[in-house]
Amino acid sequence: MLVNPRGGRLWRLKYRVAGREKLLSIGAYPDLSLAKARERRDEARRLLADQIDPSARKKAERLAQADTFESIAREWLELQRHGLSEKTFLRKLGWLEDFLFPYMGRHPIAKITPPDLLAALKRIEARGFRETAHRARSTASNVFRFAVASRRAERDVSADLRGALAPVITTNRAAITVPVQIGQLMRSIYTYRLQRTTESALKLAPLLFVRPTELRAAEWSEWISMPAIPNGEFSLVA
């Protein structure tokens, strides 16, 4: 036991490896009892008998615990941030925080197996979010590849899950080309009553022929420079 000048009492074990004296920290008294300290001492001696340095072993375990899936995922996402819009960044962060971190965030990334990742993705599927499950797998793959590149994992375990998730069923909605059907669509749009913002966007879309994102993100300077719309259907007020 090492007693420091301030009264702290610490369990230490002196030993030699290749002729060099080393010191292993075991714990602090009274948090770690004498019996527990002796158990850890005996465990360290067993490692030495197998020619394993207990200090190096302890350091490796500590580093492995630091390299968790969550810590590496946040590091990877922060590196990508300058190339992402704030909305995309927050969406990817949300997938990680909502669907992956709760189930494997604290696991050392080098020890995560394909079944571990699959179990987390299956939980997403069980909530009815099939497409999100596939996107989460893709995001996890990016994290694993980053860990491999930075020498903190051996491989991308998500590669073993190709075909393991239920396919995303998409419904193709063909464009309307028949004039009569276009008229029916326009009448449906003009009788739509729910959210004022959505109602206005639906009415503007066939007049401006812009993508939904461009319409939604239009700035006031663009509106005031726009030619007047026939029939005075819209009045834009600052």
Q: What are the domain boundaries of the chain?
A: 2-64, 69-161, 179-228
Average pLDDT of every residue of the chain: 84
Task: Decide which of 3.30.2080.10, 3.30.1490.190, 2.120.10.70, 3.30.160.390 is the CATH code for 2-64.
Answer: 3.30.160.390
Residue 236 pLDDT: 45
pLDDT at residue 235 in the model: 46
Mean pLDDT of 85-93: 86
Q: How many beta carbons lie within 10 A of that of residue 143, not counting itself? A: 24
- Going by pLDDT thresholds of 50, 70 and 90, the confidence category of residue 58 is confident
Strands (DSSP E) contained in the chain are 2-3, 9-17, 20-29
Top mean pLDDT of 33-37, 43-47, 145-149, 216-220 is at 145-149
Q: Does the pTM exceed 0.85?
A: no
Residue 96, H or E segment: none
Q: What is the pLDDT of residue 128?
A: 87
Domain 69-161's class?
Answer: mainly alpha
pLDDT at residue 63 in the model: 58
Which of 51-60, 79-88, 205-214 has the weakest average pLDDT? 51-60
- Averaging pLDDT over each range in 41-55, 89-103, 143-157, which range is the top one? 143-157
Residue 25 Cα to chain centre, angstroms: 35
Q: What mean pLDDT is predicted for residues 147-155? A: 92
How many angstroms separate the CA atoms of 144 and 114, rounded? Answer: 11
Strand partners, 55: none
